[in-house]
Amino acid sequence: MELHIRFRKLTENAIVPVYATPDAAGADLYALPTEQTLIPKGETRLIHTGIALEIPKGYGGFIYARSGLATKKGLAPANKVGVIDADYRGEIMVALHNHSEEDVLLAGGERVAQIVFAPVLSAIFTETDNLSETERAEGGFGSTGTR
């Protein structure tokens, strides 16, 4: 299944998102090639991609960590999952947090995250005095236990 996404390069050297393999769920997002960024341990830096997207109505763009960057360098999106709404037309940026014990120098042009497009539904909220019963009921964190 394919989704057509219109994009605009905000700088000439911006790298267009790319799927690493034909069955990849996420397209890689790249740091601007001209920008090296030092991310001190325990800190977050905003990484520019130089790309703006036109996400179709009814879809969202979700920015996830790249597993290699997270495991090898300790860098992952600060907000865990970034959400890009269909009506946003600004630059796609990634807030990368350094979870490692060392400062990390992010090279220009490096893959910094991946974006996944998915359909989204808008909910209509209806107030009520009671909710349907379930076996779990109000059991919260850890309430289902392990078996």
Identify the structural domains of the chain with CATH numbers, from first to last. 6-119 (2.70.40.10)
Q: What is the dihedral of CA 87, 55, 108, 40, to 10 degrees?
A: 50
Give 23-75 pLDDT, tens digit per residue.
999 999 999 999 899 999 999 999 999 999 999 999 999 999 999 999 999 99
Tell me the mean pLDDT in the region 64-90. 95
Q: Tell me, what's the pLDDT at 100?
A: 96
How open is the CA angle 94-99-101, to the nearest 5 degrees? 135
Read off the amino acid at residue 6: R
Q: Decide: pTM greater than 0.85.
A: yes
Give 94-108 pLDDT, tens digit per residue.
999 999 999 999 999
